[in-house]
């Protein structure tokens, strides 16, 4: 009898699949298609367990759908532009393109042995001119449609390196290389008009039935529709051509509690004041220090400066409020100006207390209890949910007692009626800034002409290719100093012009790659017949970290591509179903060096025994930090290549699918991987034994066939519902049942063959080997998925637990179709029930058919 030898059989069957071409997708209008896609990887050079999990998850679905008879598209490519390539060029020399393509080759070599059912003939890399040239064509079409424009926006500016920094490169407000305090600086940048689709992107979420509710909720909150009042406070005297300050508020019902007007340091009025008031200029410069992230802005200490200007309250012209410049007001949202109502906004209250501004409640709880302290008396801001009824003490409209929602509606109607502003709907979603001042990205195909201004490049001149001869020894974008790239002819007048040096955000690359996979070599972005046949993606699989940006941008792009004629109407929601998987984690092993700093040890360097961890080298005990995201900096990584070398790909695949539900994080443990390997060897042994038995019947034939039918039914349902860990638990159970069975050779071989099929999506290599050994015809991968005989699934008896007052005290086994009266009679006579009741009267008897009985005394 042969032994389980993964190294040999995995290579053998991968070659067999290749030779048969079963994963090469071809358009075939006569067959139903199924498009499975996992989020494509960044080519870092090494695959990690997160990739193994992500691509195995998708592979299980792809292989299952193939067995179900679908024409499956399961492609793979590379999200190949981005900062790490430039960082590598800066750190080690060399060219980002060489680094990237080398990494792609290395990663592909690591991915192939995993046995994923990928159609490599459709491979694409976003850094390839074949890809980004088509992206430039899309950009030009979007420009023509009015979906692209330029405006000023703030970036992180490193004043020492004289360069723009990514948020990631700003650490505690300082540049990662120079250590200089980062400033926020405005640049003219390119934008996609995603805000044109705010309402549409929000409303269409309702139709995404097979998306996780949490992702839809996060996107809805991100888009952030609000209804409020936009109106102006008149300045008591004109300043720099401004006679009013326009504000937006979602709480116009608190207008009588207004304390001050706040404007952003980037507000036009602040900009104007700054010009001839050195004190204001100094303040604005100070608060513009630090990074641009919302987190940095929101958590920064709240600071303000009184401009000395005053405005009049719209409903009481004798009431004047001061105008402050405040660092927590964002120019990007609303009008860049607010009125502060300290009684009902904690941030405004902190600000008011810090600067001695008045606090006045507009409403109070309907029932004032002892633990309510009003904001005036030193309590915190009173901020009840908008659907809670409150008592208005400074009211502009509506009832004395009403909900916040009613108060807002009444206030808007009242204000509009009195000519004070208008009710408006606003969205938090901002236009998508796509400009990057970097080399390794898709060049924006426009030209700056001294005569004609900004001119789109002609399509016949695409791709606008990145020049090869660049260096990264000076900070900043090498395109800015590359004369050969910069100088060009104006596409409109033919005169001397300068090429745009900004490249595109890498989110642009990943916003349409799923459509490009349907015709990856075409000389147009998409081909009508191919997108019509293959789109939508039936199942998209990726990390929850992409819940908002990547998925929202892709939804926008699908709409933009539809508008520019590159996608059919039916594909404007490109992902029919979405699944978000969890991370792969691993314990961190750390010790301290002499100066007390943490030193991280690789799992291979550590021996686990007696519930502790010791270094193999010198026997020192190390600290174990459980379940941290695998990260190179913490050395808690397990290289899939080593796992495949030691145990084979099937073991790695089985393990990542077995222990945790796929949407949750999974902890990689060495013992778990070993257990998976042992199990596969056991399955192999049991199947090989069955293969050698003579044909014949046995006492356990019927029982085994029932067990197989139950497993087929359960595994199929589990796969359909992403319960892969539950499916694997059933396969463990079937293995034990088969081992213990006293069925004859015929039934055992049948059972083993079906088990091989059920395992095939997860562990395809061993499945093929067993399938062949047990006399299966053709490839297991393409054999029709097994179907359970319904007659074998019927149970004729059922065991009902009996609770007394909610606690389990007994159980009875009854025929499946026994009526309630019959069950009640048995329960009333049950010895354990009578003993527990101890003479107490039964007040109520609840029988849930097929589930449980509860006796209430």
Partner RNA sequence: GCCGGUGUGGCGGAAUGGUAGACGCAGGGGAUUCAAAAUCCCCCGUCCGAAAGGGCAUGUCGGUUCGAGUCCGACCACCGGUACCA
Q: How many CB atoms lie within 10 A of CB 346?
A: 13
Q: What radius of gyration, in Å, describes the C-alpha atoms of the chain?
A: 33
- Least Å distance, CB 471 to RNA, is 20
**What single-letter DSSP state applies at residue 538?**
S
Q: Which of 90, 544, 624, 834 binds RNA (CB under 7 A)?
A: 544
Query: With binding defined as CB under 7 A, does residue 824 bind RNA?
Result: no
Looking at the Cβ atoms of 185 and 271, the one nearer to RNA is 185
Q: Which of 305, 547, 577, 637 binds RNA (CB under 7 A)?
A: 547
Q: Does the annotation flag 820 for ligand binding?
A: no
Only one of the segments 111-119, 268-276, 415-423, 665-673 lies at the binding site for RNA (rule: CB under 7 A); that segment is 665-673
- Binding to RNA (CB under 7 A): which residues in 703-742? 723, 725-726, 728-729, 732-733, 736, 739-740
Query: With binding defined as CB under 7 A, does residue 436 bind RNA?
Result: yes
Residues in contact with 756: Cβ distance below 8 Å, sequence separation at least 6, in sequence order = 687, 766, 767, 770, 771, 774, 776, 780
Looking at the Cβ atoms of 236 and 725, the one nearer to RNA is 725
Q: Which of 282, 380, 805, 829 binds RNA (CB under 7 A)?
A: 805
Query: With binding defined as CB under 7 A, does residue 674 bind RNA?
Result: yes
Which residue stretches of 21-120 are H helix? 49-67, 83-92, 96-111
Q: Which of 234, 672, 698, 745 binds RNA (CB under 7 A)?
A: 672
Instruction: Give the torsion through C-alpha atoms of 418, 419, 425, 428, to 10 deg.
Output: -110
Q: Which of 143, 803, 812, 833 binds RNA (CB under 7 A)?
A: 803
- Best CA proximity match to 202, nearest among 47, 428, 404, 493: 428
Looking at the Cβ atoms of 20 and 454, the one nearer to RNA is 454
Q: How far apart are CA 841 and CA 853, in angstroms?
A: 16
**What single-letter DSSP state applies at residue 408?**
H
- Least Å distance, CB 161 to RNA, is 13
- Binding to RNA (CB under 7 A): which residues in 574-603? 583
Helix, strand, coil abundance in the chain, percent, nearest 5: 40, 25, 35
Q: How far apart are CA 778 and CA 66, in angstroms?
A: 14
- Least Å distance, CB 786 to RNA, is 20
Query: With binding defined as CB under 7 A, does residue 433 bind RNA?
Result: yes
Q: How far apart are CA 227 and CA 249, in angstroms?
A: 9
**DSSP reduced 3-state for 421:** coil
- Least Å distance, CB 664 to RNA, is 5
Q: How far apart are CA 274 and CA 325, in angstroms?
A: 11
Q: How far apart are CA 411 and CA 252, in angstroms?
A: 6
Looking at the Cβ atoms of 229 and 676, the one nearer to RNA is 676
Q: How far apart are CA 734 and CA 769, in angstroms?
A: 19
Q: Which of 417, 596, 806, 839 binds RNA (CB under 7 A)?
A: 806
Q: Are the C-beta atoms of 797 and 770 separated by less than 8 Å? A: no
Only one of the segments 202-210, 520-528, 546-554, 815-823 lies at the binding site for RNA (rule: CB under 7 A); that segment is 546-554
Query: With binding defined as CB under 7 A, does residue 505 bind RNA?
Result: yes
Q: How far apart are CA 639 and CA 653, in angstroms?
A: 13
Q: How far apart are CA 23 and CA 316, in angstroms?
A: 74
Query: With binding defined as CB under 7 A, does residue 626 bind RNA?
Result: yes
Q: Please report how many Cα atoms fall inside a 13 Å half-sphere around the Cα of residue 183, on the Cβ side.
A: 12
- Least Å distance, CB 92 to RNA, is 18
Q: Which of 31, 481, 620, 808 binds RNA (CB under 7 A)?
A: 808
Q: Residues 104, 107, 109, 114: is their CA dihedral positive or negative? A: negative
- Binding to RNA (CB under 7 A): which residues in 237-296? 292-295
Query: With binding defined as CB under 7 A, does residue 664 bind RNA?
Result: yes
Query: With binding defined as CB under 7 A, does residue 214 bind RNA?
Result: yes
- Least Å distance, CB 855 to RNA, is 8
CA distances from 268 to 241, 289, 295 (A): 10, 19, 24
Query: With binding defined as CB under 7 A, does residue 562 bind RNA?
Result: no
- Least Å distance, CB 681 to RNA, is 6
- Least Å distance, CB 346 to RNA, is 7
- Least Å distance, CB 712 to RNA, is 17
Query: With binding defined as CB under 7 A, does residue 814 bind RNA?
Result: no
Structure-token pair, residue 156: 């992180």
Query: With binding defined as CB under 7 A, does residue 374 bind RNA?
Result: no
Only one of the segments 76-84, 473-481, 561-569, 694-702 lies at the binding site for RNA (rule: CB under 7 A); that segment is 76-84
Query: With binding defined as CB under 7 A, does residue 506 bind RNA?
Result: yes
Q: Which of 350, 364, 665, 689 binds RNA (CB under 7 A)?
A: 665
Query: With binding defined as CB under 7 A, does residue 643 bind RNA?
Result: no
**What single-letter DSSP state applies at residue 184?**
E
Q: Which of 389, 393, 532, 548 binds RNA (CB under 7 A)?
A: 548
Q: How far apart are the first and last CA of the chain?
A: 63
Q: Which of 232, 681, 693, 837 binds RNA (CB under 7 A)?
A: 681
**Residue 19 belongs to what H/E stretch?**
helix 6-20
Q: How far apart are CA 321 and CA 106, in angstroms?
A: 65
Question: Interface mask (CB under 7 A) for RNA, residues 150-169, using x and -?
Answer: -----xx-------xxxxxx
- Binding to RNA (CB under 7 A): which residues in 77-116? 79, 81-84
Q: How far apart are CA 89 and CA 102, in angstroms?
A: 13
Q: Which residues are annotated as a binding site for ATP?
A: 632
Q: Which residues are annotated as a binding site?
A: 632
């Amino acid at each position: 009898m042969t032994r389980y030898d993964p190294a040999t059989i995995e290579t053998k069957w991968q070659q067999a699949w290749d030779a048969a071409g079963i994963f090469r997708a071809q358009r075939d209008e006569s067959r139903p298609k199924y498009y499975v896609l996992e989020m494509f990887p960044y080519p870092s050079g090494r695959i990690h367990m997160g990739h193994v999990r992500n691509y195995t998850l998708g592979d299980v679905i792809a292989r299952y759908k193939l067995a179900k008879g679908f024409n499956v598209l399961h492609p793979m490519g590379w999200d190949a532009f981005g900062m790490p390539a430039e960082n590598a060029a800066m750190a080690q020399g060399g060219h980002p393109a060489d680094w990237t393509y080398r990494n792609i080759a290395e990663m592909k070599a690591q991915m192939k042995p995993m046995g994923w059912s990928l159609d490599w003939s459709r491979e694409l890399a976003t850094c390839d001119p074949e890809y980004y040239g088509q992206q430039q064509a899309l950009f030009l079409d979007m420009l023509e449609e009015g979906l692209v424009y330029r405006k000023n926006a703030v970036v992180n500016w490193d004043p020492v390196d004289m360069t723009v920094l990514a948020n990631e490169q700003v650490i505690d407000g300082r540049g990662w290389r120079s250590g200089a305090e980062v400033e926020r600086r405005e640049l003219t940048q390119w934008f996609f008009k995603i805000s044109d689709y705010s309402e549409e992107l929000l409303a269409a979420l309702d139709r995404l039935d097979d998306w996780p509710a949490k992702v839809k909720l996060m996107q809805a909150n991100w888009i952030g529709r609000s209804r409020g009042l936009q109106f102006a406070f008149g300045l008591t005297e004109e300043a720099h051509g401004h006679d009013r300050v326009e504000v937006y508020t979602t709480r116009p019902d608190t207008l009588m509690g207004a304390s001050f007007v706040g404007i952003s340091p980037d507000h036009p009025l602040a900009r104007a004041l700054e010009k001839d008031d050195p004190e204001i200029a100094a303040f604005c410069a100070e608060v513009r220090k630090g990074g641009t992230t919302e987190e940095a802005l929101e958590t920064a200490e709240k600071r303000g400066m009184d401009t000395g200007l005053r405005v009049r309250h719209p409903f009481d012209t004798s009431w004047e409020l001061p105008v402050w410049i405040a660092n927590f007001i964002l120019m990007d949202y609303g009008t860049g100006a607010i009125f502060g109502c300290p009684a009902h906004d904690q941030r405004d209250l902190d600000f008011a207390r810090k600067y001695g501004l008045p606090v006045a409640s507009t409403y109070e709880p309907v029932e004032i209890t002892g633990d309510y302290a009003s904001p005036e008396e030193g309590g915190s801001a009173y901020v009840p949910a908008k659907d809670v009824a409150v008592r208005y003490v400074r009211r502009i409209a509506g009832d004395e007692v009403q909900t916040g929602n009613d108060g807002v509606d009444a206030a808007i109607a009242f204000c509009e009626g009195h000519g004070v502003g208008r009710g408006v709907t606003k969205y938090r979603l901002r236009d998508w800034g796509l400009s990057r001042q970097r080399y390794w990205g898709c060049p924006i195909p426009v030209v700056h002409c001294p005569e004609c201004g900004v001119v789109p490049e002609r399509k016949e001149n695409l791709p606008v290719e990145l020049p090869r001869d660049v260096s990264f020894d000076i900070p900043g974008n090498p395109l800015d100093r590359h004369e050969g790239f910069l100088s060009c002819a104006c596409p409109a007048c033919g005169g001397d012009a300068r090429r745009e040096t900004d490249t595109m955000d890498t989110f642009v690359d990943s916003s349409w790659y799923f459509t490009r996979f349907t015709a990856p070599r075409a000389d147009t972005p998409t081909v009508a017949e191919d997108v019509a046949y293959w789109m939508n993606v039936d199942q998209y699989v990726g990390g929850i970290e992409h819940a908002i940006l990547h998925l929202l941008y892709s939804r926008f792009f699908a709409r933009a591509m539809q508008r520019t004629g590159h996608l059919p109407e039916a594909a404007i929601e490109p992902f029919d179903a979405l699944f978000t998987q969890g991370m792969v984690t691993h314990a961190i092993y750390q010790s301290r060096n002499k100066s007390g700093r943490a030193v991280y040890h690789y799992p291979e360097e550590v021996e686990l025994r007696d519930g502790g961890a010791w270094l193999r080298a010198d026997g020192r005990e190390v600290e174990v930090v459980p379940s941290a995201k695998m990260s190179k900096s913490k050395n808690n990584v397990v290289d899939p290549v080593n796992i495949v070398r030691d145990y084979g790909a099937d073991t790695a695949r089985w393990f990542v699918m077995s222990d945790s539900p796929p949407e949750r994080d999974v902890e990689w443990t060495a013992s778990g991987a070993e257990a998976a390997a042992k199990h596969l060897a056991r399955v192999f042994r049991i199947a090989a034994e069955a293969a050698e038995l003579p044909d014949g019947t046995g006492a356990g034939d019927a029982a085994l066939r029932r067990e197989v039918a139950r497993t087929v039914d359960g595994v199929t349902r589990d796969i359909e519902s992403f319960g892969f860990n539950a499916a694997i638990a059933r396969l463990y159970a079937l293995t034990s049942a088969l081992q213990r069975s006293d069925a004859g050779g015929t039934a055992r071989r049948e059972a083993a063959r079906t088990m091989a099929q059920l395992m095939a999506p997860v562990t395809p290599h061993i499945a093929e080997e067993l399938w062949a050994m047990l006399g299966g015809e053709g490839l297991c991968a393409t054999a029709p998925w097994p179907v359970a005989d319904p007659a074998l699934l019927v149970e004729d008896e059922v065991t009902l637990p009996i609770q007394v007052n909610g606690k389990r005290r007994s159980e009875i086994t009854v025929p499946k179709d026994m009526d309630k009266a019959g069950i009640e009679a048995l329960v009333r006579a049950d010895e354990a029930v009578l003993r527990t009741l101890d003479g107490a009267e039964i007040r109520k008897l609840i029988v849930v058919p097929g589930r449980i009985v509860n006796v209430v005394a």
